[in-house]
Amino acid sequence: MKMQNTSATARRQPLLGKQVHSSTQTRFAQNVDASGHSTRTLQTSCLELNWVSGELLIRFSGSTIELAKVGA
């Protein structure tokens, strides 16, 4: 069976230079509107900072998904 890697990290090339910062954040939120309907979201973001020949290279990525209830 042929497998396909759909991971975003597999396609990311490393930044050049010396890494000075790397961080990842994950956030979960659940909001309820006036009618009682709830919405759940999951957000992730990554930040990388590298020095190359006196210049700062910045890479940022983020994603947001809405989570569905099981059986909904």
Smallest CA-to-CA distance from 30 within 68, 72, 70 is with 68
Cβ 44 vs Cβ 24: under 8 Å: yes
The predicted pLDDT at position 14 comes to 74
**Domain ranges across the chain:** 15-67
Comparing 2 with 57, which gets the higher pLDDT? 57
Among 1-5, 35-39, 63-67, top mean pLDDT goes to: 63-67
Residue 70 has pLDDT above 80, yes or no: no
59: helix, coil or strand?
strand
The CA distance from 72 to 65, in Å, is 16
Amino acid at 1: M
CATH no. for 15-67: 2.10.70
Which tens digit of pLDDT belongs to each residue from 7-35?
A: 555 566 777 889 999 999 999 999 998 99
